[in-house]
Amino acid sequence: MPDIFIRPNDTKKDEEHVNMFSTFCINPIGISFVEQEPDEKILLFLRRHFVTNAPWIFITFILVLIPVFFFVFRLDLQLLQTLSLPGRFTVIFIILYYLMVFSYAFVNFITWFYNVLLVTEKRVVDIDYSDIVIHNIAFTKLTHVQEVNYTQAGFIRSFFNYGNVFVQTAGPETNLEGLSVPQPRRAAQIIANLIGREAHAA
């Protein structure tokens, strides 16, 4: 089996463009991260499987339909009569309501979009975003990685082939993890192979 990190003459065939919905890319192009060195090439890009977005997408869909349900069944008129509110306040309320629904969907999408695990020729980088304003970037050199393992339990995870990848480091350094990433076995094997190459080179 050819080594995926030994690039043949036609290197473009081995590179993958990272788009908005990419979750697993080997030799990705078009991305970078803070503190990336000029000669540091990204070898693996991991993001949570898109199917993990299903719960918040379903909730957003239901929330979007609630005002439509009220309008279709004329329940909004009864509510207005009960609250004694003018009709123009209904429009303002609906606008505010949809802004909150949009904010809920936007925050969930951004959280999924920016939480990634990158593996370069030199290190593993774990980028975590939470609620847009909070982000954390942790990384460790490949020479400090002691063990890589993965877990994939349950029918849903097995059916869609995603799971958790754990990168255990030596000493006080933070252990890194890629949660609910596609092809966890393959991802763990790629990182493990890199560790072997790095140790051999040292």
Q: Which two tokens stand for residue 151?
A: 């877990």
Residue (of 89, 92, 68) closest to 80 by Cα position: 89
Q: Which amino acid is at 176?
A: L
Task: Report helix, strand or coil for 58.
Answer: helix
> pTM higher than 0.75 for the full model?
yes
Residue (of 183, 179, 150) closest to 25 by Cα position: 183
The widest CA-to-CA distance across the chain, in whole angstroms, is: 77
Q: Which helix (H) or strand (E) holds 25?
A: strand 24-26
Q: Which two tokens stand for residue 135?
A: 């982000």
Percent of the chain with pLDDT over 70: 79
The answer on pLDDT for 180 being more than 60 is yes
Give the number of other CB atoms < 10 A from CB of residue 4. Answer: 14
Q: For helices 87-114 and 75-83, give the axis angle rounded to 10 degrees.
A: 110
Sequence-ordered alpha helix ranges (H) in the chain: 54-72, 75-83, 87-114, 155-160, 184-201
Q: How do residues 79-131 score in pLDDT, each as one tens digit?
A: 555 555 565 777 788 899 999 999 999 999 999 999 999 999 999 999 988 76
